[in-house]
């Protein structure tokens, strides 16, 4: 894992980690790709003291993305920093560039996903791959779905209440059923903060080894199974 404070040797550091899928590749496989190089360029502009906020969208949910961006950039007096839109569909980044929306947009181009370019599974794949890379590079990340509309910047609230937690999230999903029955809830991947720590690094490694399908809820199923032995601390914040 690379320290955010020490970025001088980043380009020469081997990306000796696997992306979080059994049929994925190692980080080094993609390091020289255009989208990875663009991601590295984006990180140079990020405030290392703030988490990177990732929101994923494709052309099917473009209206939802626009609504999300309006709530974050227009309706908030102090918008959060480090916003990264992740997509596998070029039309999303074209819209952001044409409208000059002040966020970064990353189109992840993978040959293996071209047949399912607009599927929910492909979007989930690229989102988690980018998140894995960001965490490995030393950045905390806040992952949000387009329907997780921010009426107020949640980062100060998170820092105030869960400063030392590796993972901070909400619960509202139901998959996998066995853990929902055990815990009474499951971690919702539509709103989750994943800090760059040794514990989450181990979680990403375990995620790579899990078998599963390619359904729209596979991200939620696999991530919760990785955290089946986690010690949850429930604190209600209203």
Tens of pLDDT, residues 55-96: 999 999 999 999 999 999 999 888 899 999 999 888 999 999
What ranges do the domains of the chain cover?
19-226
d(CA 156, CA 168): 13
Q: Residue 116 carries which DSSP code?
A: G
Please determine, for residue 141, whether its predicted confidence score (pLDDT) is greater than 70: yes
Distances (CA, A) of 80 to 53, 63, 85, 96: 8, 21, 14, 17
* Helix (H) / strand (E) containing 188: strand 187-194
Give the per-residue pLDDT at 206.
81
Kindly report the CATH number that applies to the domain delimited by 19-226: 3.90.550
- With both helix axes pointing from N to C terminus, report the angle between 62-73 and 90-98 in degrees, rounded to the nearest 10: 40
Strands (E), 44-125: 52-56, 83-87, 104-107
Residue 143: beta bridge partners? 54, 192
Minimum mean pLDDT range among 75-79, 167-171, 172-176, 211-215: 211-215
Residue that wins the pLDDT comparison between 207 and 71: 71
Give the per-residue pLDDT at 19.
73
């Amino acid at each position: 894992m690379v320290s955010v404070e020490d970025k001088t040797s980043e380009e020469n550091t081997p990306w000796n980690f696997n992306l979080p899928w059994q049929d994925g590749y190692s980080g080094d496989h993609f390091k020289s790709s255009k989208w990875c190089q663009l991601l590295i360029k984006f990180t140079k502009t990020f405030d290392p003291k703030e988490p990177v906020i990732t929101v994923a969208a494709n052309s099917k949910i473009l209206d939802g993305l626009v609504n999300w961006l309006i709530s974050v950039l227009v309706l908030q007096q102090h918008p959060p920093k480090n916003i990264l839109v992740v997509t596998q569909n070029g039309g999303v980044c074209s819209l952001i560039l044409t409208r000059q929306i002040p966020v970064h947009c990353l189109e992840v181009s993978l040959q293996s996903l071209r047949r399912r370019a607009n599927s929910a599974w492909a979007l989930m794949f690229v989102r988690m791959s980018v998140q894995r890379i960001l965490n490995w590079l030393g950045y905390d990340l806040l992952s949000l779905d387009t329907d997780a509309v921010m009426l107020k910047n949640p980062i100060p609230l998170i820092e105030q209440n869960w400063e030392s937690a590796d993972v901070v999230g909400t619960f509202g999903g139901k998959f996998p059923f066995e853990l929902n029955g055990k815990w009474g809830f499951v971690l919702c991947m539509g709103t989750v903060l994943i800090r760059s720590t040794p514990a989450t690094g181990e979680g990403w490694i375990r995620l790579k080894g899990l078998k599963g399908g390619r359904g729209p809820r596979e991200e939620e199923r696999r991530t919760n199974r990785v955290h089946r032995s986690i010690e949850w601390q429930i604190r209600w914040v209203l």
